A and B are shown apart, each in its own frame.
Chain A
Amino acid sequence: MLNIALPTGRLGGQVYQVFKSIDYSCDDFTKDNRKLVLENKEKNFRFFLVKPADVAIYVEHGVADIGVAGKDILLETNPDVYELADLQVGKCKISVAAPKGFQNGAIAPLKVATKYVNIAKEYYASKGREIEVIQLSGSIELAPILGLSDVIVDIVETGTTLRENNLEVTADIMPISARLLANKASYKFKAKQIQEIVDAIQQSQLDQQKGVSQKQGGTP
Chain B
Amino acid sequence: MNTQRNKINKELDQLAREIQALFQGRGYQYAPISRFEEYDLYVENKNFLASEHIISFMDMDGKLLALKPDITISIAKNLPATPLTAQQRLCYRDEVYRFSRENREYKVVEQIGVELMGQLDSFCNVEIVDLALDSLALISEDFILDLSHNGFAHQLLKSTGLSRRLEQEVLSAIYNKSTHELEEALATAALSQENQEDIVTLATLSSELLSTLPKVKGLIKNSTMEKYYTELRDIADALENSPHKNRVRLDFSAMGDLDYYNGIVLLGYVKESPTQILAGGRYDKLLERMEKTGGALGFAISLSQLSLSKPRPAFDFDVLALYPSDVNPAALLKALKTLYADNLRVRPEPDTSQLSTLDFTYKDIYYFNETTQTLEPQKGGEKSC
Footprint of B on A, CB under 8 Å? 3, 37, 60-63, 78, 80-86, 182-189, 191
Q: A3-B3, A82-B176, A82-B177 in contact; A62/B144 too (CB < 8 A)?
A: no
B274 touches A185 (CB 8 A): yes
Beyond A63-B3, A185-B276, A189-B271, 8 additional contacts (C-beta under 8 Å) are A60-B102, A61-B274, A62-B275, A82-B176, A185-B270, A185-B273, A188-B146, A189-B144
- Taking chain B's interface residues, is the majority helix, strand, or loop, or is none over half, making it mixed? loop
> A187 to B270, alpha carbons, bound, how many Å?
12
Interface contact A83-B181, CB-CB below 8 Å: yes
**Nearest chain B residue, comparing its CB with the CB of A3:** B3
Is the beta-carbon distance between B178 and A83 smaller than 8 angstroms? yes
Query: A186 contacts B274, CB within 8 Å?
Result: yes
What's the nearest-Cβ distance from chain B to residue A108, in Å? 29
Closest B residue by C-beta to A85:
B180
A3-B3, A191-B206 as given contacts; A83 in contact with B274, CB under 8 Å: no
CB contact between B276 and one of A61, A82, A184 (< 8 Å): that residue: A184
Give the A-B contact count at a CB cut-off of 8 A.
53
- Sorting the interface of chain B by its residue count into under 10, 10 to 19, 20 to 34 or 35 or more gives 20 to 34
Residues of A near B179 (CB, < 8 A) are 84-85
**Residues of chain B with a CB closer than 8 A to A84's CB:** 177-179
Residue B142, interface by CB 8 Å: yes
- Nearest chain-A residue to B180 (Cβ)? A86
A37 touches B275 (CB 8 A): no
B275 and A80 contacting across the interface, CB-CB below 8 Å: yes
CB distance from A46 to the nearest CB of B (A): 8
**B256-276 with Cβ < 8 A to chain A:** 269-271, 273-276
Residues of A with C-beta under 8 A to B249: 188
Q: Which residue of B269, B270, B274, B276 has the most chain A CB atoms within 10 A of its CB atom?
A: B274
Q: Which single member of B3, B5, B253 contacts A82 (CB below 8 Å)?
A: B253
Proximity string of chain B (170-182) to chain A, C-beta cutoff 8 Å, 1 when within and 0 when not? 0000001111110
* Contact across chains for B269 and A185 when beta carbons are under 8 A apart: yes
Counting chain A CB atoms within 10 Å of each CB, which of B1, B178, B206, B249 scores highest?
A: B178
B101 at the interface (CB under 8 A from A): yes
